[in-house]
Structure 1
Amino acid sequence: MLQFSFTEEQEDFRKILRQYSKEVLLPQYTKWDREKKTPRHLWEELGELGVTGLRIPEKYGGSAADCITTGIAAEEIGKGDFNLTYSVMLNALIGEILSIHANNAIKSEWLPKIAQGKSIVGIAITEPQAGTDAGGIQSTAIRKGDHFILNGEKSGISVATVADAFILFAKTDPTAGNRGISAFLVPSDLPGVDCRGYEDMGNIPIGRGSVYLTDVMIPEQYLIGNLNEGFSQVMNGFDLSRLLIGLQCIGTATQSLDETIEHVKTRHSFGKPLAVNQAVSFPIVHHYTQLELVKWQAYRGLWLRDECLQHTKEAASVKWLAPKYSSEAIHECLLLNGHYAYTKEMPFEQRLRDVIGLEIGDGTAQANQMVIAKHLIGKEFRSYQKI
């Protein structure tokens, strides 16, 4: 029988994270943006709470949590600090890829540190000429004896300037298209790896930037999974990260709505609370309804993944609409809170800047609509598309 509820353990986990987000993360949220700093100590605190190792096996220090529990973490951490939800979303994606495809040496070396929040690992796919068309990767990995030599450029990479390593995708068979791409674990301190940050509009504490590779030597044991099969590995991972991104955005937008509701209930104009005006209350209702609908589609997608059922179009629909609806809701909250909300004394302007970034990352609206169309229309659509 289908149950639209969380387990007692999941509700307890939510309560713990909600309190931590409210008391620890939320008061410092704007601090890291202003200081342009990645709070690595908070990644370690989240490791102590079990957040950074949710999709990592217990033998490597994780909790092997289900996807729904991981979604709860993304939603609740998002209410306190949008950027720290990368410790949920990114670690879940990295944790799955390494746990399933990496050899035992990589797992033993990296998974415990990731689970503890002591190491940050990024995923490097996008290139200047290969964004939505990830199969257009031009970076190369050429075998030379018991090593691979990597050359190329990765762009728009989250945690580029702070990561200890990257799961990096490069062409190992230039003649094989998407099937000629392999994945490697690349430590960021290797000779020939150069990481440079961007002056971004938002997501400042994430340290987004480019990673340049110049004759980087990688031992063959740092190959992840099978040679030439990296593309299929990451495509499945995107179904998880897109659902978690949806809950990350919704958590931030929901927190903005909650704060705005309190404001319009207590702020008076012309002798009455702002909240009694339909021009104020109806927009709040509108955004609440949209966020709730997408939230439950996200949890449904995570349930499908836990049940090993197809969920690609569900993930794409969440990734398409959650950042869009969330940015619209936060924008409305900023306006309803008045001119102080336009200053950096309140968190709304930063939330808006941060969420907009995920209207691009992990697939634009158009890219996700193409994914949905492929699954709805079938081979007639797929035969003309590359995604």
Structure 2
Amino acid sequence: MNFSFTEEQDYFRKMLKEFAKEELLPHYTKWDREEITPRHLWKKLGELGVNGLRIPVEYDGSGADCVTTGIAAEEIGRGDFNLTYAVMLNALIGEIINNHAREELKKEWLPKIASGEKIVGIAITEPSAGTDAGGIKTTAVHKGNVYVLNGEKSGISVATCGDAFVIFVKTEPELGNRGISAFIVPANLPGVECRGYKDMGNIPISRGSIYLNDVEVPEEYMIGLQNKGFSQVMNGFDLSRLLIGLQCVGAASQSIDETIEHVKVRHSFNKPLATYQGVSFPIVTHYTQLELVKWQAYRGLWLRDQGLNHSKESASVKWLGPKYSVDAIHECLLLNGHYAYTKEMPLEQRLRDVIGLEIGDGTAQANMMVIAKDIIGKEFRSY
């Protein structure tokens, strides 16, 4: 067993750590306050090779392995939690397009995603279909050389700033989960309408709903085979859930590092706060929990790189990563006192941002179901 990173991975981590500290962290709260998606930073991440980590070199990507992609999620998460979507979303979408789309679509979209020129979202969730992704009602009807899409997608990241979306629809509704297909749908097509939400957190991610009203999509924009979309996205979730765990751990670890510095210099009753067990023990507890999640995440990414099953590892990271990170950031907010409850410090925003990923990409309960099916087997039934 070898728990060390390669020399190249260590260099990549150090480079991203410095970038996150110097260029991302000082402006993290700015984009939230101004309700701006910093597209210039998506392009900057493109220059660093971060956007295209899971995109092959022949499409201007980095062609990196999953472990390296996890390093990016963790380190960018330390500097700007919301910009880590450029790692997580692009890895998920890059894999889907590269593994299943026509060559023409790969050449058209993958280089633009890798460079940060285009922001692409993924649209599965609907008002009546969240955890039950197979329950989507949006339809695509084949007419001539186009598919006509109708329906509503909700809770979609980059909804109001995305240039296109990988949208999952029912092409044969009578088949249930086996009748789902995927299309890449440019946001500027006639009949596509995007409306944003007033969210608690993740403001720069521009979450919202996408309305599809008789949207005509060329048949060559279908990704993969008709009715094979469900299996495509389920496999992709195993990657994105691991990256989400590291994204959350990065934000929480940064909060702990900042808090450790605070409790060393802040005095109470003539002693540093750090000398009190009521302060140091909670920090130790959260540090330990985050370390456990982090290494389970890297193990899951290593398994994916080896072509081995990693669904239960991915589900455990997605279940506990956001939960432990929310708990840690909350504790850090309390240990920093009343100033941390203001918008002068980044802790309150990190708490709001990370809570969103206790929901997205599968709730805790949904991920427990995945683990139960894996370790219990066919005897497990969910009702």
The answer to whether TM tops 0.5 is yes
Deviation, structure 1 residue 63 = 1.0
Partner of 2:216: 217
Partner of 1:55: 54
Q: Aligned partner of 2:52: which letter?
A: G
- Please list the CA deviations of residues 48-74 of structure 1 after superposition, one character each: whole Å capped at 9, or x if unmatched: 000000000101100110000000000
Query: Matches of 1:320 and 1:262 in 2, distance apart?
Result: 29
Query: Matches of 2:258 and 2:203 in 1, distance apart?
Result: 23
Partner of 1:298: 297
Partner of 2:203: 204
Q: Aligned partner of 2:122: which letter?
A: I
Query: Matches of 1:58 and 1:300 in 2, distance apart?
Result: 25
- Please list the CA deviations of residues 218-250 of structure 1 after superposition, one character each: whole Å capped at 9, or x if unmatched: 000000000000000000000000000000000
Gaps of 5+ in 1: none
Deviation, structure 1 residue 21 = 0.2
Deviation, structure 1 residue 32 = 0.2
Q: Aligned partner of 1:232: which letter?
A: S
Partner of 2:364: 365
The answer to whether residue 245 in structure 2 is matched with residue 246 in structure 1 is yes
Query: Matches of 1:341 and 1:175 in 2, distance apart?
Result: 53
Structure-1-length-normalised TM-score: 0.98
Partner of 2:230: 231
Deviation, structure 1 residue 95 = 0.4
The answer to whether residue 314 in structure 2 is matched with residue 323 in structure 1 is no
Query: Matches of 1:349 and 1:230 in 2, distance apart?
Result: 38
1:77-92 maps to which residues of 2 (within 5 A)? 77-92=76-91
Query: Matches of 2:193 and 2:157 in 1, distance apart?
Result: 15
Deviation, structure 1 residue 134 = 0.3
Secondary structure, counterpart of 2:151 in structure 1: strand
Secondary structure, counterpart of 1:64 in structure 2: coil
1:139-178 maps to which residues of 2 (within 5 A)? 139-178=138-177
Secondary structure, counterpart of 1:160 in structure 2: coil
Partner of 2:109: 110
Aligned residues: 383
Q: Aligned partner of 1:268: which letter?
A: H
Deviation, structure 1 residue 170 = 0.3
Deviation, structure 1 residue 294 = 0.5
Query: Matches of 1:379 and 1:282 in 2, distance apart?
Result: 42
Partner of 2:32: 33
Deviation, structure 1 residue 380 = 1.3
Partner of 2:379: 380
Secondary structure, counterpart of 2:241 in structure 1: helix
Deviation, structure 1 residue 381 = 1.3
Query: Matches of 2:319 and 2:143 in 1, distance apart?
Result: 42
Secondary structure, counterpart of 1:163 in structure 2: coil
Q: Aligned partner of 2:321: which letter?
A: A
- Please list the CA deviations of residues 17-74 of structure 1 after superposition, one character each: whole Å capped at 9, or x if unmatched: 0000000000000000000000000000000000000000101100110000000000
Query: Matches of 1:43 and 1:368 in 2, distance apart?
Result: 30
Partner of 1:260: 259
Deviation, structure 1 residue 91 = 0.3
Deviation, structure 1 residue 269 = 1.1
1:327-338 maps to which residues of 2 (within 5 A)? 327-338=326-337
Query: Matches of 1:138 and 1:271 in 2, distance apart?
Result: 63
Q: Aligned partner of 2:34: which letter?
A: E
RMSD: 0.6
Deviation, structure 1 residue 174 = 1.0
Query: Matches of 1:38 and 1:224 in 2, distance apart?
Result: 27
Partner of 2:94: 95
Q: Aligned partner of 1:374: which letter?
A: K
Query: Matches of 1:335 and 1:268 in 2, distance apart?
Result: 15
Identity %: 77
Deviating runs (4+, > 3 A) in structure 1? none
Secondary structure, counterpart of 1:176 in structure 2: helix
Deviation, structure 1 residue 257 = 0.1
Secondary structure, counterpart of 1:50 in structure 2: coil
Secondary structure, counterpart of 1:281 in structure 2: helix
Secondary structure, counterpart of 1:118 in structure 2: coil
Q: Aligned partner of 2:217: which letter?
A: I
Query: Matches of 2:61 and 2:113 in 1, distance apart?
Result: 9
- Please list the CA deviations of residues 168-223 of structure 1 after superposition, one character each: whole Å capped at 9, or x if unmatched: 00000011110100000000000000000000000000000000000000000000
